[in-house]
Amino acid sequence: MVFKYGGTITIGNNVYIGENSNIRSGASIDIGNDVLISHNVNIIDTNSHEIDYLERAESYQNLLKFGHPSEQGAVETAKIIIEDHVWISYGVSVLKGVTIGKGAIIAAGSVVTKDVAPFTLVAGNPATFIKQLN
């Protein structure tokens, strides 16, 4: 899904995206070649809502009245890059502003909040380094 106020999703060659996975963009999401994205994965480059509670309440009321906004407003977004040969396992969430390096593996159930170095395995919430891969 691309938000009405903007966003792009670019998907390379030989990419698998599993059932019930969601990719939502308000900025930019670039997925490289030969990437495996398992089931129930969420990749989102935006907070989707304002941080300030009053702005968030007003925005929600406007959404109900007028539909999705054409202007980004105070919603924070940041590009996501998933490089070639990455494997993202079951139930992972990849949050805004993250780059996942070439050949990296994201373990099941992880929440990726920071960049992942190439050819590493990360796991957990938040995802942390487990080991270097060959």
Question: Which pLDDT tens digits describe the chain residue by residue (134 residues)?
Answer: 999 888 999 999 999 999 999 999 999 999 999 999 999 999 999 998 989 999 999 999 998 999 888 888 899 999 999 999 999 999 999 999 999 999 999 999 999 999 999 999 999 999 999 999 98
- Check if 68 is active-site: no
Q: Considering the entire predicted model, what is its pTM?
A: 0.93
Look up the CATH architecture of domain 9-132.
3 Solenoid (2.160)
Predicted confidence at residue 53, as pLDDT, reads: 95
Predicted confidence at residue 94, as pLDDT, reads: 98
Q: Is the backbone peptide bond immediately before 69 cis, with ω within 30 degrees of 0? A: no
C-alpha span between 15 and 19 (Å, rounded): 13
Q: Which of 39, 49, 68, 85 is catalytic?
A: 49
